[in-house]
Structure 1
Amino acid sequence: MLEVAVIALRWLQYSGAVVLLGAPLFLLYSFRGADGPNLGWARPTLIVAAIVIALGSLAALVAQTAVMAGSLSEAVKPASLSFMVTGTALGMAMVVRAVVAVLGLVVVVATKPGRLLWGLTTLAGLIVAASFAWTGHGAATEGPGGLLHLAADIIHAVAAALWLGALAALTTLLLCRAAPDDVAIHRALHGFAGLGTLAVGVLVVTGLVNSWFLVGPARIGDLGASLYGQLLIGKLVLFALMLIFAAGNRFRLTPELGSVLAGGADPRQALQRLRRSVVTETLVGAILLAVVAVMGTLAPPSAL
């Protein structure tokens, strides 16, 4: 039961982190502050993301301590929690994550929507996303390759948050009940395509580096023999599926919307097709995060 709680809390923290980093960055480069369409959802969304990260991190600290101590009653003792925070990188990372999330929450509540708010919350999200390297496998590698693995894991987490968070923001924008500014949405889609391509390229490179350390070339043939390997295969399948949707959005649906707008025709059907594709891609991304949450609790093939 505790292991299930750890996995669920990991997924919640991942979800909050991608929103706290990717969503404000999407707004920052897409709409020049608060002049974009239907941005009333932005502040409440960032507030929820910050709260989820803060509470999720603290709850995960207790749950992880309980796993290590053997029981929840032992985990809530000050001595156990103190050791977890001061004696392990895992515990310290969770505390840092919670503190940064609380600071981000204060910023969101105290600052008006605009470029300053988007920039500050992006910074908070960047720190939160990077902290996952110390609660996963990235910080466990010893020896001369340890620093490279840690750096790759940090960059991988940040790139994933950029892509998935921006995708979540775009999904929210397309699902807004108020009538959208179609031209602004088209402009945002073009901006998202550039950032998405960069994020995907970084994810591929850093993913290969991480796989080198966690799996190793000699174990590729036996990848399906372990649960970690099976989940890694599933993660790659989900990633490929997201790429298919992303390519369709960029090279077919977004240009189609541009042509409709340029011709002065009704864009509702083009927007509906885009909306379905983007929502589906976002749901696949949420499932992918769940797979990653499980993988983070398992020993990789290189450790067996």
Structure 2
Amino acid sequence: MLDLLVIGLRLAQYCGAVILLGTPLFLLYGLRAPDALAQTWPRRLLVAACAVTALASAAGLVAQTAVMAGSLAEGLKPASLGFMITGTTLGPAFLLRAGVALAALAVVLMARPSRRQWMVLVVAGLVVSASFAWTGHGAATEGPGHYPHLMGAILHSWAAALWLGALAALLTMAARHPPGDPLSDRVLHKALHGFSGVGTLAVAVLILSGLVNSWFMVGIDQIGGLVTTPYGWLLIAKLGLFGMMLALAASNRFYLTPDMAVALEDPEDLRVAVSRLKHSLAVETVVALALLAVVAVMGTLAPVSAMDMGL
């Protein structure tokens, strides 16, 4: 039961982190400043992301302590929590995530939306997203591969947040899109077009960093473990979900977005184009949540490469 709680809280932290980084970044590059500042949805989305990240990180500290201590009652004891904070790398990472998320929440609540505010949130998102790599498998590699693996893991986290945070923003924009408003129609199309190039960059970084991580997490000698270990099965599932997201993203870029551009002058065609876009973004979001859930489970398992160490 505690293990499931840890996984659920990891998933919540991942969801909050990708929005905290990817959404304000999307507002900076995906929209013109006047169009971005005219949007009313980012504040609510960012408040939710900051609050979820902070609460899930604090709860994650307690849950992880309980797993290590053997029970929730033991995990709540000050001595157990103190050891987690001072005697492990996990405890400080939980506190860092919670503290940065709370600081970001204060920025969102107390300051008016602006490009400067979004830049501050991007920095907060970079720290929060990187903190998962600092305490994950990427930081466990020893020897000369330590820093290449750690950097690969950090880049992987940042690229995922860049993509998934923008996806959350696009889905929110599409869901709140008022049909028949020419200005809103064009802003939505510009947002989709603005994400195209950056999305391609995110995919390229994900693939390259994923190959680096796989080299350390699986390795050539243990590649057979992909079909004989739980970690390997989940990695295959993750790759399958990533492929589905890639196909949906390609459809959005090469078919749905151009169709919307053509339909901008025809209200009837535009309603159909926007409806198709909403459906595609919703499906892609569901697949993204499933992928993050798989990653949350993978973070609790020994990698395939650990087989040769008898783990």
Percent of residue pairs identical = 58
Asked if residue 124 in structure 1 is aligned to residue 124 in structure 2, the reply is yes
> In structure 2, what is the Cα distance between the partners aligned to 1:29 and 1:209?
28
Equivalent in the alignment of 2:272: 269
> In structure 2, what is the Cα distance between the partners aligned to 1:212 and 1:82?
35
Preserved CA contact (<8 Å) 1:34 1:114: no
RMSD: 1.5
Q: Structure 1: which 5+ residue stretches go unaligned?
A: none
Asked if residue 248 in structure 1 is aligned to residue 219 in structure 2, the reply is no
> In structure 2, what is the Cα distance between the partners aligned to 1:79 and 1:142?
30
> In structure 1, what is the Cα distance between the partners aligned to 2:247 and 2:269?
27
Write the deviation string for residues 214-267 of structure 1: whole angstroms up to 9, x where unpaired.
Answer: 111122233111111000000000000000001111111111111122678741
Asked if residue 221 in structure 1 is aligned to residue 227 in structure 2, the reply is no
Preserved CA contact (<8 Å) 2:37 2:114: no
Q: By how many angstroms is 1:38 displaced?
A: 6.6
- TM-score where L is the length of structure 2: 0.94
Q: What is the aligned residue count?
A: 304
Asked if residue 44 in structure 1 is aligned to residue 63 in structure 2, the reply is no
Task: Show structure 1 runs of 4+ deviating over 4 A.
Answer: 262-266
Q: By how many angstroms is 1:78 displaced?
A: 1.6
Q: Structure 2: which 5+ residue stretches go unaligned?
A: none
- TM-score where L is the length of structure 1: 0.96
Following superposition of structure 1 onto structure 2, how do residues 1-304 of structure 1 map, counting pairs within 5 Å? 1-33=1-33, 35-36=35-36, 39-176=39-176, 178-179=178-179, 181-261=184-264, 266-304=269-307
> In structure 1, what is the Cα distance between the partners aligned to 2:209 and 2:95?
26
> In structure 1, what is the Cα distance between the partners aligned to 2:33 and 2:5?
38
SS at match of 2:40: helix
Shift in alpha-carbon separation, 1:263–1:45, aligned structure 2, 3 A: closer
Preserved CA contact (<8 Å) 1:34 1:115: no
Shift in alpha-carbon separation, 1:24–1:41, aligned structure 2, 3 A: same
Preserved CA contact (<8 Å) 1:36 1:184: no
Shift in alpha-carbon separation, 1:268–1:37, aligned structure 2, 3 A: farther
> In structure 1, what is the Cα distance between the partners aligned to 2:32 and 2:114?
8
| Equivalent residue letter for 2:286 | L
Write the deviation string for residues 267-298 of structure 1: whole angstroms up to 9, x where unpaired.
Answer: 11111111111111111001100000000000
